[in-house]
Chain A
Amino acid sequence: DTGVSQDPRHKITKRGQNVTFRCDPISEHNRLYWYRQTLGQGPEFLTYFQNEAQLEKSRLLSDRFSAERPKGSFSTLEIQRTEQGDSAMYLCASSLDLATLSYEQYFGPGTRLTVT
């Protein structure tokens, strides 16, 4: 098992452009989470999925943000019409190993977004 992976690792975009990030969770996990971290702060929850169902969305997730997990495996997070305030590290995590019933969350390396 290679852990949670995210792509790309870095993204620089101009204000107003759309961006999409991908997360591949640990294969045995059925829960997938997205968090955002700005400089000097702890990560903040954005949304999470159990299998393909999106079960909760934070108020931080404006209408410009959308997340999908179409087949219950990988997930994408899209930001439309990016703003400079969207610049942050976007972290993905997965949990719930049904074999061990462990709820421990494991994080990917993150995608660092810079909006110019």
Chain B
Amino acid sequence: GIQVEQSPPDLILQEGANSTLRCNFSDSVNNLQWFHQNPWGQLINLFYIPSGTKQNGRLSATTVATERYSLLYISSSQTTDSGVYFCAVEEEGGSEKLVFGKGMKLTVNP
């Protein structure tokens, strides 16, 4: 099955700094989503981005499907950005399920 790798696994930032999270996947995809998991376990949708670029406030994402990677940019980070970020993909020609990476833990210090 498809493999999803996220990097870096952990990141510690000072408030106001920018960061880039990377997601590599091993095969073609129909769907790619970025999530933020809050301390209570709720997965919050950030982007649905099988290809192209999207922006939402301080966050933006780019997926280059032909090169099998996606990037999540966080600018001017805030302490509320802390948590675990997941990339998840739906394999092209496969089932409808999402396959998740292991996540990236972000800590933003004041």
Contacts and interface: CB of A to CB of B under 8 A. Distances in A.
Interface of A: 31, 33, 35, 37, 40-45, 48, 55-56, 58, 89, 91, 93, 95, 102-107, 109-110, 112
A35 B40 CA distance: 16
Dominant SS at the A interface?
strand
Interface of B: 4, 30-31, 33, 35, 40-43, 45, 48, 86, 88, 90, 95-103
B87 to A, nearest CB: 9
Given A44-B100, A55-B95, A103-B48, 20 more contacts: A31-B96, A33-B97, A35-B98, A37-B41, A42-B101, A42-B102, A43-B88, A48-B96, A56-B96, A58-B97, A102-B48, A103-B30, A103-B31, A103-B90, A104-B31, A104-B45, A105-B33, A105-B88, A107-B42, A109-B42
